[in-house]
Structures are given as structure tokens and as C-alpha cells.
Amino acid sequence: MNQYRYPQEELCPGCGRTEGVELTRVTSRVCAWTCTRCGLNWAISVVNPHLRPDHPTDLAVAVRQLSAARAILTQIIVLAEEAPTITSAELRSRLLALAQCAR
């Protein structure tokens, strides 16, 4: 019939019984059932791998973003340690420069 194998006796997720469970639809991507005992309808579909995000690319972007955030936080810590020895104007300008880098 198709390449997808479905159980011959499917348990109803609603009542947990096999009596009254009827297969209502079978395609190459979806199998659907109904339970005449409790009235529940459900389906199982095949995952489309081409619709999933490209995790290695997402991971690489996340690593770059975290590295940039870490560098900025390191500079903020250094600035906090130097704050007592610099003027308020210099502190403000360095904080603004860090804020622009963060964007």
C-alpha cells in the first residue's frame, strides 16, 4: 500500500483500548485513527527533515554571538575596575562605546 508501516492494533491515546479503534486515513506521510468508544481522533505523520533548521549553522551563529557578548562583558569588568581612576566623562564615553559594540 505505502512505505509507512502502521500498527495493526493501535491503542487509543484517550481510553487506552484497542476495541473500537479504526484506521481512517493512510497516505505516504500520515496515518490517522478514530476511536468509536471515546470519540478521539489522532494521527501520526512522518517528519520532514528538510523542514528542520540547520542546527550546525544555528550553533555557529550562537557561538559567535556568545563570544562577542563575552568580550564585551570582559571589557565592562575591566572598566569597572578602572572606574575609580578615570573621569566621569571618560567613563561615560567608554560605556557608550561598549553599548554601541553590543548592538
> CA–CA distance from 1 to each of 5, 6, 69 (Å)?
9, 11, 54
pTM of the entire predicted model:
0.42
pLDDT at res. 82 = 92
pLDDT of 81 reads 92
Helix, strand, or coil (residue 25):
strand
**Which pLDDT tens digits describe the chain residue by residue (103 residues)?**
334 444 556 788 888 888 888 888 877 778 888 899 999 988 887 776 566 556 666 777 888 888 888 988 999 999 999 999 999 999 999 988 888 877 7
Task: Name, in order, each residue with C-beta under 8 angstroms of 46's C-beta and a sequence gap of 6 or more.
Answer: 4, 28, 29, 30
